[in-house]
A and B are shown apart, each in its own frame.
Chain A
Amino acid sequence: MNWLAWRQHRKQFMVVGISLIIFAAVTIPTGLSFWHTYQHALTTCKTTDTCNQLSGELFQSNIDGLLFHFIPLAVLLLPVLLGLFWGVPFLAREYAEGTNKLVWTQSISRRKWLTVKLIWVLLGAAILTAAFAALDTWWFKTGNALNQNRFGNGFSTQGIVPVAYSIFAVSLGIMFGAWFRRTMAALGVTLFLLIAIMLILVPNGLRPHYETPLNYKMSLSRSLGDTGPTPFDNGPASGAALILDQYPVNSTDQPLNWSNPPSKCIITNPGTPQGHSEAIKQVNGSGPDVNIISRNGGPAINMACLGNLGYQMDIKYQPSYKYWDFQRIETGLYLALSVIPIGVTYWLVLRRDA
């Protein structure tokens, strides 16, 4: 059976294998060069104390921008492509061409036939994805060091989660291919579900809540985007955390009512010079600019004024030290999810008429 599995799938292994070689040929030299540039810049910026400006200075060329965009994108899309082009035809083509009838009437049980084929294709997908993800994780260490955000897009393309994504995507494609027996219909449904689950539902709906978030109260006179020391200064910098929510609360933890804020802090005509100077006056003329926020159609509010009234920004976040916890949880989640399509596939193959 191994002979047939290899003979049937060797071409697709080779296509992805060659893509991996091309990927390595791009990432290894550029990765080395980026890291070298970064290290060099790090030693020189220390003398002038401008290291916190590096992320805005390095790798600004078009080519660099494209690489930082498309290298992670390739790893993000790989599981989807494997699900569509490895998973869906895996059984759909056998059904469509009737070859399942040929192979199921040889002296081998369907269970063994399916098991051996699944092992080959799932293991192949896992190993190749692991290689892509490892290269990307290594390649992106410059980017991780610079913008210090591992919970953004980097989360889905680095570490161990891409391997679980691939196993899930391929299993899902296999199930729908067996279910519909037609490639096109199965492609459509698989693509829709993969996008919904992997790109929308899990990263936005589930990931922020894998563990109970931490709280931090921050002075209203500054924002998360500011450079310099930040609220999360115990090691990781601000961008490293996954921010779930931030909301101004008063000294008794009551959240700010956006449509009815303390009247003292409302700026009546924020866009005009008059309104602007009024705003500055409200914070005793300190600083050249004022942090003005308006939400839910409410009035414009002077945030520094709120700060003077005892308001603070209440931030719910997942700290960066939970990165590997979250990687493990999400990997486990996808592997557990994969059990469903694999189980259904066995049922379809063993119990349903050819």
Chain B
Amino acid sequence: MVSLSSPSAGSANVLSKSPSQSPEYLSEIGYLAQEIPMYSRLNAKEHIEMGQHLNSNWDSELAIKRLNELSIPLDRPVGKLSGGQRAQVALGLALAKKPKLLLLDEPVAALDPLARVDFLKSLARAVTDAEGELTVVMSSHLLADLERVCDHIIILASGDTQLCDDIELVLKSHKLLVGKRQEVTSNNNYTIIQQTETAKETTMLVKLRASKLHDPRWHIRNVDIEEIVLAYMGQKRDLADTIAAKGGSLR
């Protein structure tokens, strides 16, 4: 989506444009790569100055103000900053571009828990400050973080979209059903995402089709986003195993 790689198939429409290497396209997109790359011998101030020279729409003051509030030393080479500080500098740079879309690729994967919370706090504040002008797309394996900051979730597995919805709706519509061991299939009331059986009990994670489910056979429990995601990923894996066993292949 930032044209760093060309698509192997398909196309994308981002902010009503198709992704390209042109400055017009890139100027509206902020991007933070997973490894948080920066010029390790340049300090934060020089990175901000670099942004000033490479972008038409750049807010140096905002970036400096944000980093000052976080007490991040502006004149120390970024290679000598802590991981959390580097991530904050990189986020500051991405935001100084005043993007309409901010793409974050596993931004907190390498950070310690405290730095991660701080980073997400900064991110949330930036979204508030932008007053609806900024959309953030963030990929992460840290599902609890997603629940804390995201409005919308997309689950991708094996190159396919498994789920795409508002997090609140997802939480509302997915339930864990526990009951006596029995044969069940998906029906008008729910779709089974994942099912496990012990000698006595059947447990299944389902997506409800209606807003409420009344079925005395089942105890209904709420689930968190992590369980939901794992269920979807597990479902995909089982399917892949089945097809592989039949001698087919699944991309």
Contact = CB atoms under 8 A, between A and B. Distances in A.
A253 interface: no
A314 to B, nearest CB: 62
B246 interface: no
B35 to A, nearest CB: 5
Residue of B39, B40, B56 with most partner-chain A CB within 10 A = B39
Contact of A101 (B31, B51, B54): B31
Residue of A101, A104, A106, A109 with most partner-chain B CB within 10 A = A106
Interface in B1-49: 2-6, 21-23, 26-27, 29-31, 33, 35, 37-40, 42, 46, 49
Interface stretch (A2-10, A41-49, A166-174, A334-342): A2-10
Interface residues of B, number: 31
Contacts of B4: 101, 104-105, 353-354
B175 interface: no
B50 A353 contact: no
Contacts of A110: 21
Contacts of B53: 1-4
Contacts of A105: 2, 4, 26, 29-31
A166 B55 CA distance: 33
Contacts of A14: none
Contacts, number: 72
A231 interface: no
Interface of B is mostly: loop
B49 A3 contact: yes
B160 to A, nearest CB: 22
Interface of A is mostly: helix
Nearest to A97: B37
B23 A99 contact: no
B49 A98 contact: no
A107 B37 contact: no
A100 B3 CA distance: 12
B50 A3 contact: yes
28 contacts: A4-B50, A4-B53, A7-B42, A7-B46, A7-B50, A98-B35, A98-B37, A99-B38, A102-B33, A102-B38, A102-B39, A105-B2, A105-B4, A105-B26, A105-B31, A106-B50, A106-B51, A106-B54, A107-B26, A107-B54, A107-B56, A107-B57, A108-B54, A109-B23, A350-B21, A353-B4, A353-B5, A353-B6
Interface of A: 1-4, 7-8, 97-111, 350, 353-354
Given A2-B53, A4-B50, A353-B6, 15 more contacts: A1-B53, A7-B42, A97-B37, A99-B37, A99-B38, A101-B31, A102-B37, A104-B2, A104-B3, A104-B4, A105-B4, A106-B54, A108-B54, A350-B21, A354-B5
